[in-house]
Structure 1
């Protein structure tokens, strides 16, 4: 009798608690050789849903001056996602953003760019790490998931800025948006509050618009036709110990064109006006970033300077790729991709693809990795053969190799992708970079393999198209969780997995 009563009480309590509980599957993961195993383990009983994330204020450069966090825009601790209001984004939105970024990335190639690459900076001591947070970037040229917190003007106005490694000039919203405009409510820089703000006059070396002092007193911003503004200079403060005087940027009218998201874009390109060129010249000529793998729980960083980039790179660098110059992308950081392997086996590349340009741009906004069709098709076909036991799912935008793992009861075996870079001088003997399973997939439910999941590689426009892009693109998913070291004076890119 007592046991029956106890059972009834337990059942009642369970029914009362069910609305507050969630069923979940735990996974265990391990790698053998070039195959990754994801094992599904279900709980016998429901468990309480994860408690709300408690976030302490994100440190800024003024608080500790050095290694500071970078967060994905969906991280509940991001100040631009207050309270974790947005935890996921739809695959349609991601595909739309990726498509727009890809088009805008190559639009500059077809129209030309007025930016100039910087000379190799001289080595120097010192260094700085920049505080970063995350936000969506719905403006030009594309969308960005990460921002850095910097100060503009005197006194410094702290602004969250997305960062881009090929922009050519930084962009800052310099006036509040009119009520109802797309950027209404977003932060902006107020030049009237800065004692060091100065417009760049026509005829200045920093003005590349071709204007004359007789036509207009200040240099118009012409690199982005959908934005209205002028080129200006002010003090850029990264931390109390690192600042750039007379930093050149595009001062964008608040309500012009599309919103820049956050307060603008910070340029880390090879252009002489970028923060990487200006600051790295006095800090060893080296910078790095580590983009966090998890959109909700991990941190990354952005570092500039020999002292911080990174302390132990000699011992932990997994692969090094020589930097190459691509005239179509003079401001971007470009490496050569020599080959691809899957599950420990080299993917056969057609002869015409093997002899064609293998340039690959490193991008900090595009999530997926785009390859020439002649290189992507053999990889896709080999991957589909290896994954034939699992149910396929419809394509998601450009991602045409998708699977529905929701009904898989036990485990998923994933053949891993390895990228081989060309060696010094474009020859053989290049180093190999292995990608983890998380770096290979876009998951409809972030971090959950047992959802609808797609291979995060796609094909560029046809090789035979004369107007097709001339370079492949390594996206943020493939670069995530590894420190990507840009050693510009040394002419190389280093990859350090497991850095954030």
Structure 2
């Protein structure tokens, strides 16, 4: 599926989106639960359900992590995944399932169809502005279509209607695009229409999204109200937006996720310079891939520094690398590295009152009455002498250290979106590098 990426209204409490410093097609990027979210600004805001609890968010986050680890484990690339990352025996049950506070953008799906009526031509508006989640660890883009027989955890009040779109084409079961779905994403064949199936690990009430695999060629901008229903897949597989648009935009994209409480949107760029080494302010590290699971983008974390002092962790602890993921919230580290980081962090936070753990976040504080909170500086050191100093908002999450551990040092780490916020992350997929630029939004 391809869609037009045209900037929508960027206003949020009088502020406009930060304009990216390089060429490319771009749109404002929001936090789904943030103050600038399109969902928060919709006419249904008054009827909006309450946000998920921190416990629900962390449980859903772990489901996402388990899904990534299982996929890597099944690839037979020598990656170890402990039994704790296996299928969840007791799914998390919640009366209402929400998205995490994940990065979302608005895109226009479809175009208008010309119809003849009464001797003249009339236009049926079929383009619909959808709010979709940015996902760097999946390959098949999908949106909620009309009518929908079941609800998802990404609900929609205005879904895309293929019957009214002049740009929609269902793909045949024997098409090359259908074959590219592979065993993981390919569903049944219905009326010679190729069916897809995409796992949704963060939704305990819905195990997957399924439907007709189709094309929606870029068309004119639609005029219908926005919706929140879909995933913009940016992984390395052949069906992802990055692969589909490589000839037009080059194999490059970037995003900047705004801070949690920011009232100014970030941005998502498709295309652009593509080469972070050519721009000022970027630190660059090699982009690595898994041969059997090209979906995931991986970087090599070598060390961690706290207040400028590098932690005493053997480099081999980080040998499995770290997956870059825009939807996982909390960064996962090898246990040995996490325990060393936690010890260093706690020693520098000894003047503050400790608070009970929150889920798998075990280093929490009660800042009640604290006039000023001084948080230790944390920097991640990547291959290529790339030193990425985290924003303060990427260090504490709900007053807890915003890191947790895998259950085994041999499992790949995951660099989550809490640590990525306020910096531009530029994926030069074709050139094999990743750039980080601090303070970009």
Fold in common (TM above 0.5):
yes
- Which residue pairs with 1:339 in the alignment? 303
Equivalent of 2:209, from 214, 224, 227? 227
Residue range with higher mean Cα deviation, 276-285 or 289-298: 276-285
Backbone CA RMSD of aligned residues:
3.5
- List per-residue Cα deviations over 1:307-327 (Å, max 9, x = no partner): 5x699962211x211001224
For residue 385 of structure 1, give the secondary structure of its aligned residue in structure 2. helix
Q: Which runs of 5+ in 1 are unaligned?
A: 1-52, 60-64, 114-136, 241-260, 424-429, 444-452, 465-469
How far apart, CA to CA, are the structure 2 residues paired with 1:334 and 1:312?
Answer: 18
How far apart, CA to CA, are the structure 2 residues paired with 1:297 and 1:418?
Answer: 26
How far apart, CA to CA, are the structure 1 residues paired with 2:348 and 2:208?
Answer: 46
For residue 64 of structure 2, give the secondary structure of its aligned residue in structure 1. helix
- Which residue pairs with 2:111 in the alignment? 154
Give, in angstroms, the shift of residue 352 of structure 1: 5.1
Higher RCO (CA-CA < 8 Å; seq separation 6+): 2
Equivalent of 1:461, from 407, 419, 422? 407
Q: 1:292 to 1:186 in 2, by over 3 A?
A: same
Aligned pairs for 1:161-240 (under 5 A) are: 161-178=132-149, 186-208=157-179, 217-224=192-199, 226-236=208-218
How far apart, CA to CA, are the structure 1 residues paired with 2:286 and 2:293?
Answer: 16
Equivalent of 1:380, from 342, 347, 371? 342
How far apart, CA to CA, are the structure 1 residues paired with 2:346 and 2:435?
Answer: 31
How far apart, CA to CA, are the structure 1 residues paired with 2:102 and 2:131?
Answer: 12
How far apart, CA to CA, are the structure 1 residues paired with 2:396 and 2:415?
Answer: 13
2:267 counterpart of 1:304 = no
Contact 1:313 1:496 survives alignment (8 Å): no
- Which residue pairs with 1:125 in the alignment? none
Q: 1:286 to 1:351 in 2, by over 3 A?
A: closer
Contact 1:75 1:295 survives alignment (8 Å): yes
2:60 counterpart of 1:97 = yes
How far apart, CA to CA, are the structure 1 residues paired with 2:270 and 2:34?
Answer: 24
Contact 1:482 1:496 survives alignment (8 Å): yes
Give, in angstroms, the shift of residue 350 of structure 1: 3.9
- List per-residue Cα deviations over 1:248-300 (Å, max 9, x = no partner): xxxxxxxxxxxxx9221111111222112222432243211000013341210
How far apart, CA to CA, are the structure 1 residues paired with 2:189 and 2:71?
Answer: 29
- Which residue pairs with 1:480 in the alignment? 421
- List per-residue Cα deviations over 1:24-52 (Å, max 9, x = no partner): xxxxxxxxxxxxxxxxxxxxxxxxxxxxx
Contact 2:69 2:412 survives alignment (8 Å): no
Give, in angstroms, the shift of residue 144 of structure 1: 5.8
Q: Which runs of 5+ in 2 are unaligned?
A: 1-11, 19-23, 77-95, 113-126, 200-206
How far apart, CA to CA, are the structure 2 residues paired with 1:360 and 1:235?
Answer: 34
Give, in angstroms, the shift of residue 440 of structure 1: 0.8
Give, in angstroms, the shift of residue 177 of structure 1: 3.2
Equivalent of 1:420, from 381, 389, 398? 381
Contact 1:152 1:158 survives alignment (8 Å): yes
For residue 263 of structure 1, give the secondary structure of its aligned residue in structure 2. strand
For residue 206 of structure 1, give the secondary structure of its aligned residue in structure 2. helix
Contact 1:150 1:238 survives alignment (8 Å): no
For residue 269 of structure 2, give the secondary structure of its aligned residue in structure 1. strand
Alignment length (residue pairs): 373
Aligned pairs for 1:440-459 (under 5 A) are: 440-443=395-398, 453-459=399-405
